[in-house]
Amino acid sequence: MARSHEHHESLRGHMTLPPDLDDTRRRLLKGAGAMALLSLLPGALLARSADARPGSDFNESLPPGIVETGSSVYDFRVHRLTSPDGERHYRITVAIPKKAPPEAGYTPIYLLDGNAALAALDEQSLKAMNAATPPVLIALGYDTDHRFDVEARQWDYTPRRPNQDPIIDDRHPERRGGGADDFIKLINDTIMAEAERDLLINTSERAIWGHSFGGLFVLHTLFTHPSSFDHWYAASPTLHWNGYQVVAEAGRFQWPSDQRGSALLMRGDAELQRRGPYSNGGSDKEINDQLEGLAKQINRAKGFEARFEVLEGLGHGAALVRSLKLTLSDISGATLTPSA
């Protein structure tokens, strides 16, 4: 579902890596020379790393889905809230199994791009999870009829460094980046308590899934606020954002000693079939090798297990759906096929 973009010249072999990258992380980046084309440069080019896009249907209005039609195995409740600065409006949909919770409580999984995530699920998917150990699904969406709110997600899901100004997308000046830490705080301080209210929740098994900018957010949160969740699912993360900021953060990663955790990193092997500035050059193999190297790096943390999975034959948009199904299969113990 990738869009075509105007061609840009690829610059190989003439990169200056950020100063906070040690030798290990430099080796991770070695094979991604062209991919670093725009993101390793200052100023406007930081913004040009803008998300490898979730699809061409940004402004598509969604038809009625599982929440509107109802389910025989899940109940739904919807919360609406506004960001503290009044700029973004959220629709938080909580899908609650009708099946009684396990003794330890339901596993909650937070789904970024909640509108798109819910659109990827149907009754067959919910029934498959219900036959195993169904989780509570907490879809962090925006209060719009569209699959994505591109301006809101670009702000909420992307990090910036301390004291760095908001990052302006030079292709779309109305889109700013750098609000990830504010969104983490909103989740931890407000959304989590409201979404889990009156539910028996296993607070040692909280999980989060995100794709593209959402995958970037998952990794940034893992490396900077690791106590927020226990299990982390990052699909097609935009690693090159802001001069590989998240890769630098990985080198400082420390997992809480009293917490058990895991991460699954995923990416398609055909995400760059249509090249453009959002790919930042490179090849799928180079990018996937880099992501696998990152998984191996964080797998060394005590009490933490990380792995990488290639989504064979999939482009960027299709990776959203497949990674979501793999995540829910992993959480519930069910088998959700790509068509389920």
Local confidence band at 14 (pLDDT 50, 70, 90 cut-offs): very low
Number of domains observed in the structure of the chain: 1
Question: Token pair for residue 146?
Answer: 């569209």
Assess if residue 107 is contained within a domain.
yes
**Mean pLDDT, rounded, for 122-139:** 98
Q: Which of 212, 236, 279, 323 is catalytic?
A: 212
Q: Which of 196, 205, 249, 271 is catalytic?
A: 271
- Of residues 167, 30, 152, the one with CA closest to residue 90: 152
More confident residue, 25 or 79: 79
Percent helix, strand and coil across the chain, each rounded to 5? 35, 20, 50
Q: Which of 211, 231, 240, 316 is catalytic?
A: 316
- Of residues 296, 294, 308, the one with CA closest to residue 28: 294
Digit-coded pLDDT (tens) for 147-188: 999 999 999 999 999 999 999 988 888 899 999 999 999 999
Assess if residue 165 is contained within a domain.
yes
Catalytic site includes residue 61: no
Assess if residue 309 is contained within a domain.
yes
Q: Dihedral, CA atoms, 166, 275, 234, 156, nearest 10 degrees?
A: 20
Q: Is the pLDDT of residue 15 over 80?
A: no
Question: Token pair for residue 125?
Answer: 């998917």
DSSP label at 337? Answer: -
- Of residues 109, 278, 304, 136, the one with CA closest to residue 210: 109
**Mean pLDDT, rounded, for 231-252:** 96
Assess if residue 12 is contained within a domain.
no
For 307-331, b where at least 16 C-beta lie within 10 A, e where not — what string?
ebbebeebbbbbbbbbbbbbbbbbb
Mean pLDDT for the chain overall:
85
Alpha helices in 34-157 (DSSP H): 44-47, 66-69, 114-119, 123-130, 150-157
User: Which backbone phi and psi does 328 adopt, to 5 degrees?
Assistant: -70, -30
Query: What is d(CA 296, CA 308) in angstroms, rounded to the nearest whole number?
Result: 8
Query: What is d(CA 71, CA 153) in angstroms, rounded to the nearest whole number?
Result: 28
Query: What is d(CA 176, CA 117) in angstroms, rounded to the nearest whole number?
Result: 23
Enclosing domain of residue 328:
23-332
Helix (H, G, I), strand (E, B) or coil at 227: helix
Query: What is d(CA 308, CA 233) in angstroms, rounded to the nearest whole number?
Result: 10
- Tell me the Cα Rg of the chain: 19
Digit-coded pLDDT (tens) for 289-322: 999 999 999 999 999 999 999 999 999 999 999 9
What is the DSSP secondary-structure string of 250-273? HTT----TT--EEEEEEEES-TTS
Assess if residue 16 is contained within a domain.
no
Assess if residue 339 is contained within a domain.
no
Catalytic site includes residue 236: no
Assess if residue 338 is contained within a domain.
no
Catalytic site includes residue 205: no
Q: What percentage of the chain exceeds 90 in pLDDT?
A: 73
Cα 16 from chain centroid (whole Å): 27
User: Which backbone phi and psi does 148 adopt, to 5 degrees?
Assistant: -135, 150
In the block, tokens 């889905």 appear at 65
Helix axes 213-224, 150-157, angle to 10 degrees: 20
Alpha helices in the chain (DSSP H): 23-30, 44-47, 66-69, 114-119, 123-130, 150-157, 180-186, 192-195, 213-224, 241-250, 284-298, 316-332
Digit-coded pLDDT (tens) for 181-205: 999 999 999 999 999 999 999 999 9
81 DSSP β-pair partners: 90
Assess if residue 171 is contained within a domain.
yes
**Can you give the pLDDT at residue 276?**
43
Can you give the CATH number for the domain in which 141 is found? 3.40.50.1820
DSSP label at 191? Answer: I
Q: Is the pLDDT of residue 33 over 80?
A: no
Local confidence band at 61 (pLDDT 50, 70, 90 cut-offs): confident
More confident residue, 1 or 292: 292
Q: Are 176 and 87 in contact (CB under 8 A)?
A: no
